[in-house]
Structure 1
């Protein structure tokens, strides 16, 4: 997925390769729910009549006239109040604040202040919370935290609270109490998505800023000397671990590890195997309802079960907004449970149908409204009447009633000075929505000069990142979810601060990042479930569910549906039980049949499945693991992992994929093609979750015609035949009936993706790769990121198997993949702000080493940085100096970073001498 921002209008949108050609199409499809956080009104945009669309073409003072001309502007439709509602209060009049029950202040209840002695928190931590906007806590948080044995770490906790109700703070307080109470204490916080990990790392670093752990009286004198030598050891070190990161999952270099599910499981495995897990005192499982996820959920169950089997006190804190059978988790984790439905922000829900806006204060009334509107229902006296009417549009682009409503509602929000999230059912639909909304928003002349300048700065920052800037999208700067980490962070920060006004995205954005919005618009009926609000600076929030007639029945069914109860996924696939058993045998947590049975009795599966059926599956899985030569059984009935079994666990593979990888690497050891890069990159390509990749056989055939001898030998070595590619080009079918056929099909898929990795490593911009292979830009970026994590696993696999030479070769190319550059740029790419594209410009200008950059005057680097920002919309002469000053500041940071790297290099040289 890719998201795009228009610098003139401050709109961020998703896109795909073909979306620009389909901007006027109307899309419909499935989706999920979203939480929108409200943001304070931005007074930089004047509140004007919504039909004043700023058609003046006068240049804004301070800017040149070389801004690209876009398509003709549109006039958003007027939204009027229906008869009988005009005098009842303006639902969308943002200057009017709706009254709601205030949260009791800490003066009324002292326990609502985190400074209360009952919580035992350091003053600096309380001050940091206050700086982050947490002045007091809600009554439900107080009641939850004061549950039996929780603050003392004696009891596990499972709790459920609506999104935006402050549920994360409870876990943060309990986790930080454990970490701050002991200098050796470790904690792990588990989140489902990379973006959430990165966001949480930033938040926690701010929360623990300036805090030193208290001295413990029992420390020995020599230990105290060690602390004196390492003063920074008292600081709380927060580190993020996720698939695309280069950080090794080491236990020694963090106090709080914020991890994806896979990384957390790997980290705990390593700690148990190395006997260092005794330092672990708290584990937080956020979004724990994902234990029911068919693809990754079982790893959460494996992780928690291992913790329950350890003979040490580890406080497990599990939370979710959508737990329906919390008692199951409570019993499984032997913990205290707590549920609340408190929402600090009232949500005004609306149904938009046929150009009319219907109010629905609660889910029940929304259901009533939809049911009455359904054509199958008989009209009644109590038929809910619309509160507002969206006038038809005179523009042909907005003739579709639902699309016209989306544009009008978004335009109204922005002109009132607020942020809005628009969710569409597809990436291409987002592109279409964003293009039309942007044409109705305030013109550039209406936007504050400071905001314009910030948007242009964002444009330059995004252009300097690894993927480069798609020239076709030059006017709508790409950014956001599905692109690189840096892009997501830059754009999210800009939207959060009000520099950007509209975000149009697919619903998957809701799972990846928290963004503030006063109004959430869903351009599809099937996105309308479980809409909630996030506490922000506004007192009320709004959700608008835009619906077509054909979707009314789906809405009714959706609103009738209840959240499913969570259950174990361990027996839904035999590979999951196999992986569970192989892991605990490999890390020596359980090696006898009795201990294996004890482990299985502690799984969530044991709390609802028939014990005899579990026994049968365990028996069959142990036999399969022996046949695959992953484990052996000694004369006393003890189980032991083979070297291959340990390698599979170390690389975080499931047994079936481990077998495939082992066979692939064994072949490579016999005849590794070293005179090119395709064989290495092929082994970096993930083996799982390839079902969503569709090979464009025309592209495959074209690339095959241009392969050099080395790459053709790799194809031949893998059993990939040109005649098969040619047959597929003309409508052939790749059979996947037998195991052998499935493995061949998997090799074709991997090789096709490896071709993309080859281009990325050779500095082809992401958008060019996407265009070349007919894939969404975000999908290519995801491939690059997931391949980095998979490469780390392959390196561990080779190291565990004793294949050191292979591991060294893979490690070198892992650096190239991360940098998106050829080998000559790897050193330069380590410098702050110097990514692959910028690094090449430095190289071409004679700065070919870190030392050369370190010894350069920042003023000498200024022209190079200007080269790295081509076609930037320039300020007029009087602002030229400001532009250069900003680049000079960046040049100084680059020089300082190069100096640090150079000093490290010189220190290593001295040590080697």
Structure 2
């Protein structure tokens, strides 16, 4: 009873917040008469509450259904008027913008400043393949405007065809950026934007009648989403799937293999149109054959790119025929100390442009990023400290907001307009550094190669400090991605790249410059094929070996490995899955998934992990202690997350700090005092014991976060990068959701099925309760949530009602465009919550009144 009452109170409060937002919107927009009428209807319903209460229950339900229908009709009128009239000029829409109402063009100009499209974009959007809804792959250099084409196609699917869209992106940070960027467009154009990354995203998604949705998802969460839509027989709701960075299917990682498997399932089970985009696919014809897709190739760049190499102090330009010609000599004198600390002369190359133009310096390692940034702060002109002083002070305050402290390297470099950017930063720090770079507070970033495939941070000049990434020589694809950041459309007529190399590596560098883009090779392994088999058999898509062979033949792996016959692969996979008792084969050859097999695909758990996971869960159920959270945290700790090192002395200290209850959990798991002592004394330890120690070590990090220690404190205590600690938290939340789904159809794990979802939700935020709601907004992490809360924005509705200018004034280093995005995201969040509650209420009432 208590739980039901609390949920009802929460829903009423959510509805109140949503109505406050609608009232504010109405006051600002008196011409939107349908919603004004809707607001009056709501008020009338509330005023006649006594009359309604006097009715019978059945009459009350009928009255509520009639009222909901009026609300729906009023909302539909509003949506239709929005689509049939320009929100800027009020002119009727003539549908001349690539099949979209012309107000879409006006809104793009208002929201993005896009007045017209490039010629190639118009050509691509007018392709017969697009009109016929065929699959399409298009490839152009970085910064050519590929994303806008995908977005316009998405708008057409959402607005004209009224079907949902799935937008697949490689990283959580890019998903959050895209969600925030689309929020206001969703409000204006009548669709919902739903984030699927980390622990965020409802599985299965809410079934909506009124508005279509665009699901913005990582590869991992897209798997959960597609599987859920298939299980609930709702895959036809999906009309378009967009895959950014399509070349990742060939990156050799589990992520690339997962993307290929996802695309195979979509090809076989869905009628959705597939749109793939990339700047670096060498064998695009082969990949297009895999996707049954048409191809559009282009070489357009909004600004010219001029490539150079630097050998000692000589800058050589790379001609179009890949010859070298002398461009200039670096003649600026340097001190003996500078020559020793900066032998590559990065300082000279940076100082030539900043602070009026921007520079990206790609470094081979994370440590080198920080070292280069510190050297720049030592040798750059002192007068750079006087540029945008107030903005830099605001940035430093914002960076320290999360933990009351700031990275000592950033404290030294930011006054010069310089910062480093790599995975060792927290999400908050990365986002603030990126925003500061975009608005010009920072003019130089020292970064790793991952930034090239991440958010859009262009520069006038891109410097590659070395032809290596770590210890590996650059590939052509990675090189093209990095130099593709050079050139800022609308600001520069050209961009330039400078690759620094030694005389001894010059010939290797020239070979790199002349090399074509590498071919995209399938990342699929036998284990991946087992996961694909479990998935399609478990969902009932395939019931025979012949059907499974057809699925395998659809994969890029089989198309590229003609020596591996599909029938041989199926035989090998079925044998393995039968041995693991994940698939049954009857006497007629029919394939069915066992309960454990169905749990495997539902939780997207690799088949080779199922047995050990099932064993761990059974042991946990037999010995689960709820006097402490440690056992639950251990269960959701990722097994493949290796700590940077295991220090025996530190491990012993951590073990001795455990409470009595936590030690009992450790004993149950297998972490005994004897084992920890052997680690401390550097005695021989078996492989399985080391894996156990590693997993418990990351468990202790998560346990510290659970106890509200911040990322800085945990990183210091465990001698890890703070970004690595935050990445661990992100992986743990995804793993927890996977285990929760795994347990959902296994009755023996009923307790974990009920415990894990709410546990995961709180763990994913690891923050005080008052900040958790604010942190549900995309890209609002702990530091920014704390700033908003301190500034008086205690609820999402407070932010939704705010003027973006207020946020700029009240928060440290809040760019105008970011403030506008956060306000739009808050409005969108409330709108989605309100519609979710309305949908739920309608379903309950419709099921109740059947006479």
Aligned to 2:707: 762
- Given the two structures, how large is their TM-score scaled by the length of structure 1? 0.70
- Given the two structures, how large is their TM-score scaled by the length of structure 2? 0.75
Residue 512 (structure 1) aligned to one of 424, 448, 454: 454
Aligned to 2:264: 305
Alpha-carbon deviation of 1:142? 2.9
Aligned to 1:751: 696
* Structure 2 residue 569 is the aligned partner of structure 1 residue 610: no
Alpha-carbon deviation of 1:281? 0.8
Alpha-carbon deviation of 1:169? 2.5
For the residue of structure 1 that corresponds to 2:353, the secondary structure is helix
> Cα–Cα, structure 1 residues 120 and 842, in superposed 2: closer, same or farther, change >3 Å?
closer
* Structure 2 residue 502 is the aligned partner of structure 1 residue 548: yes
Aligned to 2:598: 646
> Cα–Cα, structure 1 residues 467 and 798, in superposed 2: closer, same or farther, change >3 Å?
farther
Residue 146 (structure 1) aligned to one of 111, 126, 129: 126
* Contact 1:189/1:283, CA 8 A, preserved across alignment: yes
Residue 334 (structure 2) aligned to one of 393, 400, 414: 393
Aligned to 1:262: 220
* Structure 2 residue 726 is the aligned partner of structure 1 residue 726: no
For the residue of structure 1 that corresponds to 2:361, the secondary structure is strand
For the residue of structure 2 that corresponds to 1:816, the secondary structure is helix
Aligned to 1:245: 200
Residue 414 (structure 1) aligned to one of 342, 347, 354: 354
For the residue of structure 1 that corresponds to 2:343, the secondary structure is helix
Separation (CA, whole Å) in 2 of partners of 1:279 and 1:840: 38
Alpha-carbon deviation of 1:346? 0.8
CA-to-aligned-CA distance 1:64-109 (integer Å, 9 cap, x gap)? xxxxxxxxxxxxxxxxxxxxxxxxxxxxxxxxxxxxxxxxxxxxxx
Residue 332 (structure 1) aligned to one of 290, 300, 303: 290
Residue 521 (structure 2) aligned to one of 556, 567, 586: 567
Alpha-carbon deviation of 1:421? 1.0
Aligned to 1:808: 754
Separation (CA, whole Å) in 2 of partners of 1:578 and 1:668: 27
Alpha-carbon deviation of 1:747? 2.0
For the residue of structure 2 that corresponds to 1:707, the secondary structure is coil
* Contact 1:285/1:318, CA 8 A, preserved across alignment: yes
CA-to-aligned-CA distance 1:742-790 (integer Å, 9 cap, x gap)? xx43322110101111111222221222122121221111111211221
CA-to-aligned-CA distance 1:610-648 (integer Å, 9 cap, x gap)? 376321121121121122121223454322222222222
For the residue of structure 2 that corresponds to 1:162, the secondary structure is coil
For the residue of structure 1 that corresponds to 2:612, the secondary structure is helix
Separation (CA, whole Å) in 2 of partners of 1:467 and 1:663: 43
Alpha-carbon deviation of 1:446? 6.0
* Contact 2:460/2:488, CA 8 A, preserved across alignment: no
Alpha-carbon deviation of 1:523? 1.3
Unaligned runs of at least 5 residues, structure 2: 1-92, 842-851
Alpha-carbon deviation of 1:206? 4.6
CA-to-aligned-CA distance 1:415-446 (integer Å, 9 cap, x gap)? 4x111111111111111111121234454786
Pairing 1:616-631 to 2, within 5 Å after superposition: 616-631=568-583
* Contact 1:521/1:545, CA 8 A, preserved across alignment: yes
* Contact 2:341/2:375, CA 8 A, preserved across alignment: no
Separation (CA, whole Å) in 1 of partners of 2:421 and 2:339: 27
- What is the Cα-based RMSD across aligned positions, in Å? 3.8
CA-to-aligned-CA distance 1:425-472 (integer Å, 9 cap, x gap)? 111111111112123445478635xx3323333333333337964578
Deviation larger for 386-395 or 173-182: 386-395
* Contact 2:705/2:714, CA 8 A, preserved across alignment: yes
For the residue of structure 2 that corresponds to 1:599, the secondary structure is helix
Separation (CA, whole Å) in 1 of partners of 2:787 and 2:438: 32
Structure richer in helix, relative to its length: 2
Q: With CA pairs under 8 Å and 6+ residues apart, which has the higher RCO, 1 or 2?
A: 1
Separation (CA, whole Å) in 1 of partners of 2:377 and 2:118: 39
* Contact 1:420/1:517, CA 8 A, preserved across alignment: yes
Aligned to 1:136: 116
> Cα–Cα, structure 1 residues 353 and 709, in superposed 2: closer, same or farther, change >3 Å?
same
Deviation larger for 515-524 or 749-758: 515-524
For the residue of structure 1 that corresponds to 2:127, the secondary structure is coil
Runs of 4+ displaced beyond 6 Å: 832-843, 881-886
Aligned to 2:648: 697
* Contact 1:681/1:754, CA 8 A, preserved across alignment: yes
Alpha-carbon deviation of 1:268? 0.9
Aligned to 1:830: 773
* Contact 1:171/1:317, CA 8 A, preserved across alignment: yes
* Contact 2:630/2:662, CA 8 A, preserved across alignment: yes
Separation (CA, whole Å) in 2 of partners of 1:343 and 1:670: 62
* Contact 2:332/2:348, CA 8 A, preserved across alignment: no
* Contact 1:390/1:408, CA 8 A, preserved across alignment: no
* Structure 2 residue 735 is the aligned partner of structure 1 residue 784: no
Alpha-carbon deviation of 1:269? 1.1
* Structure 2 residue 104 is the aligned partner of structure 1 residue 125: yes
Separation (CA, whole Å) in 2 of partners of 1:388 and 1:547: 15
> Cα–Cα, structure 1 residues 445 and 315, in superposed 2: closer, same or farther, change >3 Å?
closer
* Contact 2:666/2:672, CA 8 A, preserved across alignment: yes
Aligned residues, how many?
Answer: 700
Aligned to 1:585: 537
Unaligned runs of at least 5 residues, structure 1: 1-113, 212-234, 370-383, 859-864, 866-880
Separation (CA, whole Å) in 1 of partners of 2:164 and 2:739: 27
Aligned to 1:439: 378
Pairing 1:54-203 to 2, within 5 Å after superposition: 117=96, 119-131=98-110, 132-153=112-133, 155-183=134-162, 185-203=163-181
* Contact 2:203/2:228, CA 8 A, preserved across alignment: no
Separation (CA, whole Å) in 1 of partners of 2:810 and 2:206: 46
Alpha-carbon deviation of 1:669? 0.6
* Contact 2:401/2:783, CA 8 A, preserved across alignment: yes
* Contact 1:402/1:523, CA 8 A, preserved across alignment: no
Aligned to 2:402: 465
Separation (CA, whole Å) in 1 of partners of 2:341 and 2:787: 48
Separation (CA, whole Å) in 2 of partners of 1:259 and 1:650: 17
